[in-house]
């Protein structure tokens, strides 16, 4: 639970700690497909702008700035969740990023990166991480509700 809201996390994926994205192996591509977790979507609220600052096919390092997102509650740079070759962006999100809000574990995926994914967390590790940061998250959510 995130306050009074339930946050669901698929167990067939891995998760990135620093930017709260999920990762799932892309069939036949050898890449990891990334999208925002329910936790990230809850904090962002109503994504309405997305832009990429790198091109498909480039090598990225974990923590490298790769894009920018705007939502009802936040403007934020987007960072690569792992080191590898960024092979594909979800081009449909550039036209309509609101899909992130309604289908973040499906059609609202962000990009694919080829790499080993060794720094990605299991669902259990990610939930433990969320529990450890929940106090700060509650203050953030309460601050949003008071705006």
| Residue in the block written with tokens 């669901």 | 8
Lowest-confidence pick of 21-25, 92-96, 97-101, 138-142:
138-142
Domain containing 104 equals 14-145
| Residue 74 placed within a domain | yes
The pTM of the full predicted model, rounded to 2 decimals, is 0.86
How many domains is the chain partitioned into structurally? 1
| Residue 133 placed within a domain | yes
**Phi, psi at 113, each rounded to 5°:** -130, 130
pLDDT in tens, 25-57: 987 778 999 999 988 888 888 899 999 999 999
| Residue 5 placed within a domain | no
| Residue 8 placed within a domain | no
Q: Which two tokens stand for residue 116?
A: 């080993």
| Residue 7 placed within a domain | no
| Residue in the block written with tokens 């203050």 | 139
Among candidate residues 18, 29, 13, the one with its CA nearest the CA of residue 84: 29
Predicted pLDDT at 147:
45
Query: Residue 23 maps to which CATH number?
Result: 2.40.50.100
Among candidate residues 130, 73, 84, 72, the one with its CA nearest the CA of residue 111: 84
pLDDT in tens, 6-18: 667 899 999 997 8
């Amino acid at each position: 639970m995130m306050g009074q809201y339930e946050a669901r996390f698929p167990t067939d994926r891995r998760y990135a700690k620093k930017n709260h994205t999920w990762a799932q192996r892309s069939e036949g591509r050898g890449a990891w497909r990334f999208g925002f977790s329910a936790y990230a979507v809850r904090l962002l609220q109503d994504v309405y702008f997305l832009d990429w600052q790198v091109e498909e096919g480039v090598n990225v390092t974990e923590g490298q700035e790769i894009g920018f997102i705007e939502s009802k509650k936040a403007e934020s740079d987007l960072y690569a969740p792992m080191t590898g070759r960024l092979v594909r962006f979800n081009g449909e999100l550039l036209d309509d990023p609101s899909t992130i809000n309604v289908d973040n574990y499906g059609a609202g995926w962000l990009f694919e990166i080829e790499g080993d994914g060794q720094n990605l967390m299991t669902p259990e590790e990610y939930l433990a991480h969320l529990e450890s940061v929940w106090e700060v998250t509650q203050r953030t959510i309460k601050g949003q509700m008071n705006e």
